[in-house]
Amino acid sequence: MYSSLFAAISHRRIRPALAFFWIVIFLLPIAGCSGGDSDKPDFVYVAVPEASLRDRVATVYNKTGLVHNGERLVVLERMQNRRFVRVRTPRGEEGWIQERYLADQDTYDQFAHMADEFKNAPAQSTAVTTDQVKVHVEPGRKAEYLYLLNGNDKVELLERRTVPRNGVVAPARENNDKDTEADDEPDKPDQPRIMEDWWLVRDPQKRVGWVYGRALYVDVPYDVAQYAEGQRIVAAFKLDEVQDEDKKVPEYLVLLTEPKDGMPYDFNQIRVFTWNTRKHRYETAYRERNLSGILPVTLGQQEVEKEGNLRSFTLHLKDDGGKVRQQVYTFNPPIVHKYYAPGQEPPSREKKRRAEATPRARHHRG
């Protein structure tokens, strides 16, 4: 077809002006689409719950396949002016899909790097999603995302970060993409900067990424959560189990904070809940307030004179100058002690904090 057109032009059977018109018409489809590099496959990944492939880019089309979140697709052709991509699925289905439903290879590689970096990181707690939520490569609404978590999915919490809320919320990629992080209005120039909490999470498939904090709640038993007294539970650690008749009941260290985002610490209160086997209920064995604690918390063992090898947990606490120190606590159910190594003195504010602890809390030195 093209050879006959150019032959007609060369023999002057078509006037130059008309020839130029037909050349443009024939070359437009070529200019509007581009193929990938045959030597290096071009991959994209589905970043919506699911989407249909279509046989043509038009209002009326036939479906040629269905793709799901996280699937890797091979790019066959890109239509730049219409923002559509023709792809092939692992099942061999081919068709066109909107580019905004996809994440690129660089985004996928960032997720893969995080999964490898945090594959052995200790979980600070387990949380449950309140609704379908996006998993981002960085904390923040504008950050690229790929994976989606469904409502009531369980994830492990690894670390918290607080960031300013972005001024523009990216549009949803799909009508059924019900992400709770887009519920708020953007910041206004005449208002104070609004800060948000984001959590680095790891899902059951060992994928790691950042999730908006208010889309998560810490997974603790109701019998413990009811004692939060309006405070936000940040994390919970199982310290022990006790036998009560025919069941074993866990005992917990719980971290709490004020129900506000953007605080300069991860937690400012701790409570240890032990189980009363006579009354069959949780009781507060230890409580401490006015802390400036940061994650992570570590569980371990501590050798204590006259008491032997006891369970322990270590908090990272900031002083008034912002310097971080470690504080070890031992747990000899149901007693919690602050532990100080020989020659180690309590901080200057210890007396004030000691008065705020419950009567069961005592100090002892190794």
Instruction: Render pLDDT for 39-78 as a digit per residue (tens, 0 to 9).
Output: 678 999 999 999 999 999 999 999 999 999 999 999 999 9
Express as a percent the part of the chain with pLDDT over 70: 77
Q: Predicted confidence band at 10 (pLDDT cuts at 50, 70, 90)?
A: low
pLDDT recorded at residue 183: 44
CATH fourth-level superfamily of 123-215 = SH3 Domains (2.30.30.40)
Mean pLDDT on 297-309: 92
**C-beta of residue 85 within 8 angstroms of C-beta of residue 78:** yes
Lowest mean pLDDT among 203-207, 323-327, 341-345: 341-345
Lowest mean pLDDT among 45-54, 164-173, 206-215, 225-234: 164-173
Q: Predicted confidence band at 306 (pLDDT cuts at 50, 70, 90)?
A: confident
Radius of gyration over alpha carbons of the chain, in Å? 29
| Cis peptide, bond prior to residue 296, ω within 30 of zero | yes
pTM to 2 decimals?
0.78
Q: Do domains 37-103 and 123-215 have the same CATH topology?
A: yes
Parse the chain into domains and list their residue ranges. Answer: 1-35, 37-103, 123-215, 220-366
Query: Does 36 or 308 have the greater pLDDT score?
Result: 308
Mean pLDDT for the chain overall: 84
Instruction: Render pLDDT for 134-177 as a digit per residue (tens, 0 to 9).
Output: 999 999 999 999 999 999 999 999 999 999 986 434 444 544 44
Domain 37-103 belongs in CATH node 2.30.40.10: no
Contacts of 347 (CB under 8 A, 6+ apart): 319, 325
Longest dimension (CA), the chain: 109
The span from the CA of 72 to the CA of 67, in Å, is 9
Q: What is the DSSP string of 124-174?
A: SEEEEESS-EEEESSSSTTS-EEEEE-TT-EEEEEEEEEEEPPSSPPPPSS
Q: Predicted confidence band at 122 (pLDDT cuts at 50, 70, 90)?
A: very high
Closest CA relative to residue 101, chosen from 156, 40, 65, 49: 49
**pLDDT of 27 higher than 50:** no
Q: Is the dihedral of CA 97, 37, 105, 68 positive or negative?
A: positive
